[in-house]
Structure 1
């Protein structure tokens, strides 16, 4: 986990890039050639905050700030969302609600999209649905939930799973951006 070199992270990166965002994908500490070692989410959250600080220093007049994460990165991204009020939207792909505690999302400060596959054995759909149902109870935000029929954790089938997942992400973000420019 924690790698920037899987197809989900790669495709999310380019979906945002193609919509005109300045984007960054990175390995968490101890993954690939990055320094350090796994820190049970504490250091990884610091890594994500540092990456966001860097992007913001390069784009000081940015109108929008979104966070997108996949699996473990979805958990870290949601924690970053709670600590950074400038984040106005999120994409959480295959959040592992069965493995990590998401109760810190009370209240969730921004609207976003949670997306998962119905055949995900790593982050079972029932746990994702439970997480989304808890988020739906909150006022002032809208959490959209989309399930990709038959997709596993990595959305391996390009045509049947990955492309539809990325299409949902792009459509959602463009709709949200359209709402803010009116």
Structure 2
């Protein structure tokens, strides 16, 4: 089985979006991965994003990571969050057409986690089958997030985050009516320096199909 992602472009609201797609035979699901803030060097090549892709790959998922508008070779310019949600929805539609019938998992890091959360809410309201939502170090102090109602949510927050205020994430988590799990990662910075293996150990079991053994 090839584990090499294929570079391609997908149709986005402002023009082509640069992406990397892994087409996994007999995939158990599909995973869409959203990168950090475009104005602060966030791209789909970010090491946390790349790690999320490998985690999903190793769990048997087909994957898609992509550059938001204005990043890399993606057309357009920064959309102040709203545009990036539209980009994620376009990417999700492409994945759904490419892999019909497979449930979608959304994963996002930093700014990308808020984009993923909002996109998941809109997809769920449109009747798209969602398996899970993972939000890593979400900057909820700076971006509003509307979450899906039924899709299981896992929030992963570094305890020594220097970019996102951990206490604000914890307070946001406590305020949610939606059942979810909050995973705190001790002695961990925003970019998960030295903690990527631990991140994989946290997420891999949670990527198993709901109800699967183990």
Is the Cα–Cα contact under 8 Å of residues 82 and 109 in structure 1 kept in the other structure? no
Which ranges in structure 2 are unaligned for 5 or more consecutive residues? 1-36
Secondary structure at 2:187 match in 1: coil
Structure-1-length-normalised TM-score: 0.87
Q: Which runs of 4+ in 1 moved over 2 A?
A: none
- 1:178: Cα distance to partner? 4.4
Q: Once the two structures are superposed, what CA deviation does each residue of 1:109-132 show, in whole Å capped at 9, x if it has no partner?
A: 311210011110111111111121
**Structure 1: gaps (5+ residues):** none
1:23 to 63, 67, 90: 63
Q: How does 1:1-182 map to 2 (within 5 A)?
A: 1-2=37-38, 3-62=43-102, 64-85=103-124, 86-102=129-145, 104-105=146-147, 108-135=149-176, 137-138=177-178, 142-157=179-194, 161-174=195-208, 177-179=209-211
Does structure 2 conserve the Cα–Cα contact (< 8 Å) formed by 1:81 and 1:109? no
Provide TM-score, normalisation by structure 2.
0.74
How many residues are paired up?
169
SS of the residue corresponding to residue 84 of structure 1 reads: helix
- How far is 1:81 from its partner? 0.9
CA offsets per residue over residues 90-117 of structure 1, 9 Å max, x none?
1101101121122x23x63311210011
CA distance in 2, matches of 1:61, 1:147: 33
Which protein is richer in helix relative to its size?
1
The alpha carbon displacement at 1:88 in A equals 2.6
In terms of fraction of residues, the more strand-rich structure is: 2
Q: Which moved more, 1:107-116 or 1:7-16?
A: 107-116
RMSD after superposition:
1.6
TM-superposed deviation, 1:61: 2.3
